[in-house]
Amino acid sequence: MKLYSRSQLIKSTLAGVAAGVVIALLGAAYLTFTPKSEPEDSESKAESISEVKESSSEKLEISKVESSAVQADSYYPIIEEKSVPVASNSYSPYTQDEQQNISVYEKCNEAVVNITTQVMGINWFLEPVVQEGGSGSGSIIDKRGYVVTNVHVISNASKINISLYDGSSYEGTVIGKDVESDIAVIKFNPPDNVTLKTIDFGNSNNLKVGQKVIAIGNPFALERTMTTGIISGLGRPIQESTNVIIRNMIQTDAAINPGNSGGPLLDTTGKMVGINTMIISNSGSSAGIGFAVPVSTARRVVDDLIKYRKVNRGVLKIAPVQMTSSIARYAGLSINYGILVSEVERGSSTEKSGILGGTEQVQYGSRFNPTTIYLGGDIITGIDNITVRTYADYTSALESKRPGDTVTVTVFREGEFKKLKVTLDGKDSTQTRSSASLSDMQESSL
């Protein structure tokens, strides 16, 4: 153990005190000359926190956009910007189908007219008197007052009355009638200050079964009544009378009643696709089977009636006779149907095409009203792809033909069927003696 003297202990204590003082002074000097940060107030702290949040938010949004863009690019090579339609807050009390019906009616009903006629009759004293005739509908197709309707609506009329939607009434005149298509054009003269609503022709060549159609007419004198339905069938051949078959008729289940005849059958755009003509019904009222002449036929017929007051239709220049069992037995023929060619007009295209007329003169008909016909000629059994058994078949097969058209005529000659290419004539040249009345004759002996 090392021993220290009193003086050494005093010196050691003084040296430790001096060292502590020096260390204290150095620490104080360090604290004095080191810069102190000023305390932040509450506003500065809030701003700082807000800046940090905004910065973090921006970074987060940028990160999300970049992330979504990467995801979008991974699925779609090109991203198009599209405007998003704003949902309408307006409420409509009508369904889409109801709105369609309302739109068509409002567009077309003022162009549908009510047609009434007066006819000449005989009273109990055998005096001619004016009587109420039939009634029907029609469509205004021209602002000059042209109206299209059915022939049977104005049949035998001595006076035609046309009533408009506003109650005004005008006298109509017949421009032309075409029995083969049951289409007629009449005209009235509106005042200069009246602008007529019209219905445009549509296209009936592209119609489909099941397509919605709308009929407007005047059934039972209830003016401008609208009914709806669908197209039930197309291309229907319907025999309207003894000598008239209208082909390519439109069948519809839209309610058509007496008084609808001549009115328009419309598509959902308000264009005319047919002219309502007839119904099939045991009761005389709508049974869901109505027929309309297609507008493809009506357009052609109406144009001719307005221009020429008749239809410029191609014909065979022959005197046709309806074949019967009596004629077949008398002539010793093996067929009793078709159209017997009694005569052919000389110099006509029909003669040049090789159609042969008869040579054996006989009297046909009743004893008190005989008619001269000629046997031995061709018997027409077909025109193009239409089988001809009756006079109605014969006229309907030529209904859509024009003068100069070439048709394939199938004839029965000397026990064989032959096909001939025949160029049709026009009606304007000299007409062979008409034998149309012969088609109406009942079977009688020769």
Kindly list the catalytic residues: 152, 182, 261
Residue with tokens 């009203």: 369
420: buried, middle or exposed (CB in 10 Å: 19+, 13-18, 0-12)? middle
CA distance 37 to 58: 30
102: amino acid identity, one letter: I
Q: Tell me how far apart the alpha carbons of residues 285 and 288 are, in angstroms, rounded to a whole number.
A: 9
Spatial separation of the C-alpha atoms in residues 381 and 418, rounded to whole Å: 10
Question: What's the CA gap between 107 and 270, in Å, rounded?
Answer: 7
Q: How far apart are CA 237 and CA 235, in angstroms?
A: 6
Q: Please tell me the distance from the alpha carbon of residue 256 to that of residue 94, in angstroms, as a whole number.
A: 25
Alpha-carbon span 276 to 292, nearest angstrom: 4
Query: Residue 171 in contact with residue 162, Cβ under 8 Å?
Result: yes
Six-digit token string for 344: 């052919």
The dihedral of CA 204, 209, 214, 219: what is its sign?
A: positive
Written as six digits, the tokens of 375 are 């046997």
Q: Which two tokens stand for residue 319?
A: 């005197």
Q: How do beta strands 360-365 and 370-375 pair?
A: antiparallel
Residue 385 DSSP label: T
What angle (nearest 5°) sits at the alpha carbon of residue 409, between those of residues 406 and 410?
Answer: 160
The dihedral formed by the CA atoms of 396, 402, 185 and 309, expressed in degrees to the nearest 10? -120
